[in-house]
Structure formats: structure tokens, C-alpha cells
Amino acid sequence: AYHTFSIERNPWDKAISMYYWKSRDGRKRRVADFRRKSLPDFLAVRERQILAGTRPNQFSNFPIYSIAGTPALDHIGRYEDLSGELSRITETLGLPSPITLQAAKSGYRTDRRPYQEVMGRAERAVIDRLCAREIDHFGYRFEDT
């Protein structure tokens, strides 16, 4: 037998994290051009590219774990409770000990304010559109922390 699972992340927080990850030092491809883009510019450009079909929607993982618009996994946990989710998964799988998490990629986001303080209405609306399925299915609300 097997067990299928994935982890989903708050889409607004994920978008800000992606912005900082994509603009980090050490990226070779068009780093200088990218680093000049603000978060609003980054999201607006990405949305245009996604809607034009020239770039995949990296903000949404919903198509990866869904079939015909319905999640097709045994369990989808929330990144916001990653330790708890991993404990549930290890218990379900009968693993002997808890999983130890690393703090990978945590140093790239320089602005640590909550996403609600970073995103304006326009930026929020972009993510609302691009991640509507996750927001609806998991009941994410912009106001939640």
C-alpha cells in the first residue's frame, strides 16, 4: 500500500517568498533586470506571462496534485503547520521518529513583515486570481496569519 501527500502553503506568503528567492544574489540569468523589479512589478509581469501562456503558473501547485480540478491525494497538509503535518505523516506511515526540519532558504527574504503589510490591493488581487483554487479549497483568507 502507499500513501500520497503534499504540503500547500498560504498563497500570498508563498508569492512573497518566491519574489525574494527569484531575486537572490548568485542567480546568473537576468539578475540585474530582475533586481530592479519591485514586488508589484514582479507580480504584474508574471501574471501577464501566465495569462499569455508564456510562463507556467509557479504560484499555484493545485494542478500538480489534482485531477480534473479535484485534489487526488490522501492528505494535503499546510505549510503553516509543517511540524504538525510531518508528525501526522510519520505517524500515518509508521515511521519511528519525528522528522527534523532544516531552515533552508530562510535567509533570502529580507523583509520579514507579514504579507498583509507588504502586499497592496493590486498585489493581493493578482494572487487571488492566480491561486483561486487553493484559496477556495483550503479556505485561505488574506487576513489570516
Q: Please state the rounded mean pLDDT for residues 104-128.
A: 86
Residues with Cβ within 8 Å of residue 128, at least 6 apart in sequence: 135, 142
Task: Name the average pLDDT for the chain.
Answer: 87
Q: Please state the rounded mean pLDDT for residues 102-117.
A: 77
Separation CA 56–CA 49 (nearest Å): 8
Instruction: Check residues 101 and 71 and name the one with the higher pLDDT.
Output: 71
- pTM value? 0.84
Q: Does the structure show a pLDDT above 80 at 106?
A: no
pLDDT at 105: 64
pLDDT at 28: 53
Instruction: Check residues 1 and 18 and name the one with the higher pLDDT.
Output: 18
Separation CA 115–CA 15 (nearest Å): 9
> Model confidence over 13-70: pLDDT tens digits?
999 988 888 877 655 555 555 556 889 999 999 999 999 999 999 999 999 999 999 9
Q: Does the structure show a pLDDT above 90 at 5?
A: yes
Categorize the per-residue pLDDT at 144 as very low, low, confident or very high, splitting at 50, 70 and 90.
confident
Most confident of 46-55, 83-92, 101-110: 46-55
What are the structural domain ranges in the chain?
Answer: 5-138
3-state SS of the chain is CCCCEEEECCHHHHHHHHHHHHCCCCCCCCHHHHHCCCHHHHHHHHHHHHHHCCCCCCCCCHHHCEECCEECCCEEEEHHHHHHHHHHHHHHHCCCCCCCCCCCCCCCCCCCCCHHHHCCHHHHHHHHHHCHHHHHHHCCCCCCC
